[in-house]
Structure 1
């Protein structure tokens, strides 16, 4: 019977503080969409500072656990971690031969973080005999050196690691994960390597943190789960790399222990839960008052900004007190946008081509409908200069961006990008554009103009801030360059001026509706940027 949720067994030791071993495996399997089962091979007394004692059960106890599970449950994937004794290794090898699970991922726990060898030579030889039963192995760099019989410190680069991994792949007829965490450089590059070279690769920015305890356990368990769920090798590795990066990025906020802390396995799930919340948005829940005059907005300075850039201060200034109020109200959303995985990937040039292709596809849908909204807004305007602006002011930027879409989508037709390039319109793109079309079609002019303003202002602010990270070799240089373009900045500045004048002339009731429309569009901008990270 095939289950929709893959049933993944971890065979590993324990970590009572939850950062590594079976506890980390169970969290990782759950995070990757599986149901976790476990067989324990060692009772490890450890915390974030290190191991104090290890107690090993009889090998018959390990065998009894495996038999109890397989007698009752059909296993879709197995992740194997700490096997410190030869009789454990032989027991697991016999069980694997008997049950032949489709996916077997071995994390060969052989070398401690300190560099000490954890297995004697006989146990290392026994572990090598287990490897041909694996689908994938996930050694860290020191373990890769041991498996290849190389001196410690021999591997110093990704290229050297891949060359060694390719030889191991040929020897044992499996795939080898080369993990970049033990190497140097601004990026951590993870690769799946087969006999003929790299099968898949994925990268993320390197994070300076002590909270990486259990990263290897977590990666191997999540990879086993994604493969059991039906992902291809590129998709599985990319999912795991992104998830692991997010888990490490948010690890220190857990405040678990005072040493080398654990990663935050559940951050992605909590982020998704928040995104799925049906609680009213800020645009509807905020208390605005009568708005006879601009309200004063007090910023929460404790929130800070995502990096050294002052995200709260606009590069394109408000045109007066009303647009200053609108900007100040949108600062929390702006901060959230700047911290999104998509924007972070653009900053660090680590955004996957799949994510960018999916974004481009949705932006093409968006621009078609956005142009309709601007046309309706131009028709509603009672001021000739405004009609010219809405009708033609943004047309140049839209035309240039549509050309970028066509160029990107036509030149990135690799098999793994086809689904992104041909993706139908998503619920977020549909809902955002429906929101704009409704505000420009049936609401007053000031409400419609305020609704489209974030499409200019927040978009331009993100683009201008990203120019700091742009360079000629940046993968997405053309896109980042467009939004530092003076024509788009000038169009944004004119839109701000128009809204300032309209807000000054509007009734208090229209000001309230316009402010809510502006905030609603700000939040839809955030949702639009974030949608590929939820796919």
Structure 2
């Protein structure tokens, strides 16, 4: 069942916060969003300019129109501009929602009191409303205002304040650590005496965080209505918001604090195409190759890799993997797919060895097979894998492509496997200067500096240059197409883990 989630909130004409953000977040979290307008807010990415609150009867009529017609699976309550509006919502909860539902409907109250721009929005969060919440989701400043205390300076103090609020209201509190100092900007779900869940989240440096709190609470409401456990709902919502923050600046909305990208994952899925690319690419690579081309023919191939290299370095798991912020479930998905891929890849290299026209090349590919198996065993030993790994559609498309290309022509086959050498070797460009001991993927990414692999890549490039030098024009064209296609698949392979639901 698709959860039907009602948001009661103010508006944002630029679409980044309030009701507009709520509906996007609910859709991104897998629900059907409905909206009741509490106030019309004149705001943009640079600040709040004016607030108009309709008569309470209009708010009451909107609420009645929804509940008379639609079964509501969860409610997210955001900005309520005055005490009268708050009372209308409380009465509706008591008289309609709580009295007509056999099971408890999650009520997520996001006490919107100050906009991210610093503008005051409301001072009407009543004790009665907080008492009716399943979960209250204040940020650091709002938590302090509700308790009439100074803002917490560290996670421990924030959790203590959240426990105080939980004790005084009987509700759970999701304390949001986005404004805390330190590396972890994650969220704590707190009860009266304990922390129920803690979802870590790294610092995201961005100019696009408008509507983060609204979006998080709406996504949380939707995931709970969808049947997630509370810890799972907190983990999902936190990870989703983190990714939305990472991609927000790409939207280029406004001149101030722009919105996060609610549909970042859907956008990537739409761009995640398996169409065969043209041999000529509109954006040639301007990056310096870590392992340089072996001559003019391989230099031309490098320039044809431009689009794939951009996706590889910007839109794949590479940035988060290097920073150590990649979600653990997404990383394990990547490792599982990599395990399947390397099994096929070693057989493809063995096939190239049997086709190679010169003894030196046969030995080189045979040695690469041994290296692949050794590296696979060493890297994957640290991470438990199922006995049978089911390849994703993309992984299967990539491995089937390699099998087919190697079976057709030796020159084309070398071009098809080359991106796995060359783009993988390029990963060392993105490594941090110092990999700290607490980096969760330290052992994995340290292998990207492996000198033996870089040497093998250089040898593969020499083979490719030699083969293209003596190839026919038709072979060169087929090899170029195979190389570009493989570059696209390699970039997609490193991107696909971001398309799964993080936990």
Do the two structures share a fold, i.e. TM-score over 0.5?
Answer: yes
In the superposition, relative to structure 1, how do residues 281 and 238 fare at CA in structure 2: closer, same or farther (>3 Å)?
farther
Aligned to 1:381: 356
Deviation of residue 502 (structure 1)? 1.2
In the superposition, relative to structure 1, how do residues 116 and 467 fare at CA in structure 2: closer, same or farther (>3 Å)?
closer
CA distance in 1, matches of 2:377, 2:351: 20
Deviation of residue 24 (structure 1)? 1.8
Aligned to 1:299: 284
Aligned to 1:466: 431
Aligned to 2:302: 327
> Conserved in 1, the CA contact under 8 Å of 2:316 and 2:491?
no
Aligned to 2:368: 393
Deviation of residue 221 (structure 1)? 1.4
Aligned to 1:104: 107
Does residue 1:190 correspond to 2:187, yes or no? yes
Residue number among 273, 276, 281 corresponding to 1:281 in the alignment: 276
Provide TM-score, normalisation by structure 1. 0.85
Aligned to 1:337: 312
Residue number among 57, 81, 90 corresponding to 2:54 in the alignment: 57
- The SS at the match of 1:270 is helix
In the superposition, relative to structure 1, how do residues 234 and 372 fare at CA in structure 2: closer, same or farther (>3 Å)?
farther
1:71-470 alignment, distance < 5 Å:
71-97=68-94, 98-100=96-98, 102-113=105-116, 119-120=122-123, 123-124=124-125, 126=126, 128-151=127-150, 153=151, 155-194=152-191, 195-209=193-207, 211-275=208-272, 277=273, 280-282=275-277, 285-287=278-280, 299=284, 312-409=287-384, 424-440=390-406, 442-468=407-433, 470=435
- The SS at the match of 1:71 is helix
1:24-76 superposed Cα distances (whole Å, 9 cap, x missing partner): 21222223222211111112222333333322222222222111101111111
In the superposition, relative to structure 1, how do residues 45 and 331 fare at CA in structure 2: closer, same or farther (>3 Å)?
closer
5+ long unaligned stretches in structure 2: 99-103
CA distance in 1, matches of 2:231, 2:359: 54
- The SS at the match of 2:306 is helix
In the superposition, relative to structure 1, how do residues 331 and 40 fare at CA in structure 2: closer, same or farther (>3 Å)?
same
CA distance in 2, matches of 1:422, 1:95: 53
Deviation of residue 255 (structure 1)? 4.0
Provide TM-score, normalisation by structure 2. 0.90
> Conserved in 2, the CA contact under 8 Å of 1:463 and 1:483?
yes
CA distance in 2, matches of 1:44, 1:117: 12
In the superposition, relative to structure 1, how do residues 331 and 187 fare at CA in structure 2: closer, same or farther (>3 Å)?
farther
In the superposition, relative to structure 1, how do residues 173 and 391 fare at CA in structure 2: closer, same or farther (>3 Å)?
farther
Aligned to 1:308: none
Does residue 1:528 correspond to 2:503, yes or no? no
CA distance in 2, matches of 1:133, 1:371: 60
> Conserved in 2, the CA contact under 8 Å of 1:360 and 1:409?
no
- The SS at the match of 1:205 is coil
Deviation of residue 5 (structure 1)? 2.4
> Conserved in 2, the CA contact under 8 Å of 1:464 and 1:483?
no
Deviation of residue 156 (structure 1)? 1.4
Does residue 1:33 correspond to 2:30, yes or no? yes
> Conserved in 1, the CA contact under 8 Å of 2:322 and 2:445?
no
Deviation of residue 205 (structure 1)? 3.4
CA distance in 2, matches of 1:319, 1:467: 27
CA distance in 2, matches of 1:84, 1:421: 57
- The SS at the match of 1:150 is coil
In the superposition, relative to structure 1, how do residues 172 and 386 fare at CA in structure 2: closer, same or farther (>3 Å)?
farther
Deviation of residue 393 (structure 1)? 2.6
Deviation of residue 350 (structure 1)? 0.6
Aligned to 1:305: none
